Structures are given as structure tokens and as C-alpha cells.
Amino acid sequence: MATVKPTAFNSGYVLRQDSGEYGGSRPVFVELKGIKNDLVFPTFGMKLLNPFPQYGKMFAGDLAEFTVDGVGYLLKTYGLSKATLVDDTTIYIKNDKFRHIPNVGDVLMKAPDVVTTTGKAVTVLSVIDEAVDGIKSWKVTISAALGVLDKDTVLVEAEEAGDDKSVLVKNPNTFIPNDLDFIYSPASSDSDFNGARYFIAPALHGTAWEYRMSPIPPYVETLNKSNVKGWFIL
């Protein structure tokens, strides 16, 4: 009589799924006539040193700081949807389909008028979806108050948390040419075997509609080479 062997069995499995919302399309770059090479690219790209730590997205028309070392930074900007009081450690950041997503651990500060001006930088402790005054927003808890800020004030990444700190992106000199999703956890350092590394080829020159770009900090607006009001040119 033949021996019947037991059939193989499944001792367990992992099911992972994520959901997202397609943001739609938003033409950012001006379609100039008679010019076929308005978006001009360098001979090599760069490794992004400040990817979003969790989920996030950068958009066509975002600005970045490119260096000849082949590395650089994305200029992440955040617009306040509600004014703050002097002691507020809860702030509201505008949240729509074309906004940078704040993440726990981000270090933010008020964007200065002049790049060399330092300021207070704080750490993001929590982020939840919560509308305020009828505006879709992220409710963000920060490690310390940033003082009195008006609605629509622009926040940017800082080098580190503390007093008298500088902005992270000092010389935004390139455009991001297309949208890119950040869906993988980034590597913590060059020696980290695990984690994703993000690379992008930014455009050295371009003409964009300002109102379709991410919020432009005051110190960055001074870099605008356009003589046409409403356009931003690098």
C-alpha cells in the first residue's frame, strides 16, 4: 500500500496594500512659442539628500539646490492655513493635492526675507488631517512655538532645530521637471544597506507659472529672473 505524504501547507503570509489619491494634472511650465529647449538639463543628475521620510511627493515646478558633487536638496515649502499666536505649539498647514506633506521629525522654520537671516527652528511631533476655518489642512504639533505668524506665511526646512538656525536650501538653482512619489523609506546614510535612495535630473533653466508652483519663500523670490509678473524664471 502506497504511503500518502502530507500536502504542503501555508504557515503564514504577509499582505500589504496602500492607497493613494491621484492629484490630477497641473501644467506648471509656460509653453513658450518658438523655443524648443526652455528646460535645459545638466550633464548629470543628483542624489536627493532630503527625501520625504515617509510618504510624500515633489511636483513639477518645485525648486531644488543642485551641486556639481552630484547631490542636492529639494526645497520643501509649507503655507499656513491659519495665523498663529505667540505661544502656539499647534499650527495648521494647507493640505491639498499639490502640497508638500509634513512628516514627523521634519525641522521647520519661518522662511526669512534674506537667506542669511537666521531664525527659530522646531521639530514636527505629530501630523493629522484636520480642516480649519473651512480650509483642508494638516494639524501639526511642533516642539516649540514659532511666535506670531500670519496666515499664508511660508515655512521651510531648517538645517537643525534650535535658535538662530539657517534654512536648509540656501541656493535653489534648478527646477524639478516632473512629479515624483516617495513611497519607500529612505536610507539613513550612505553606509545604510537598507532603504531607498532617490535620484533626479533637475532642469537648470525653465519658466513657470508662479501661482501653480509650491509656495515661494521671500528669500527665493529675490532669485526670480523674470521681468514678466506672474512667471518664475531660473
C-alpha cell at 220: 527665493
User: Which grid cell is 44?
Assistant: 548629470
**What does each of the 234 residues of the chain score in pLDDT, given as a tens digit?**
566 666 555 566 665 556 656 556 678 888 887 766 788 899 999 999 999 988 899 999 999 999 999 999 999 999 999 999 999 999 999 998 899 999 999 999 999 999 999 999 999 999 999 999 999 999 999 999 999 999 999 999 999 999 999 999 999 999 999 999 998 888 888 888 888 999 999 999 999 999 999 999 999 999 999 999 999 999
Degrees (nearest 5) of the Cα angle 47, 49, 50? 130
Per DSSP, the residues of 95-132 read -STTSPPP-TT-EEEEPPSSTT--EEEEEEEEEEE--B
| Dihedral of the alpha carbons of 212, 213, 215, 218, in degrees to the nearest 10 | -110
Contacting residues for 79 by C-beta, under 8 A, at least 6 apart: 93, 94, 99, 152, 153, 154, 155, 215
Which grid cell is 49?
A: 539628500
Domains in the chain, start-ordered, CATH in brackets? Answer: 27-74+169-234 (no CATH), 76-165 (2.40.30)
CA atoms of 207 and 229, how far apart (whole Å): 12
Contact (CB, 8 A) for 72 and 97: no
Residue with cell 511627493: 57
How buried is residue 83: exposed, middle or buried, by Cβ count under 10 Å (0-12/13-18/19+)? middle
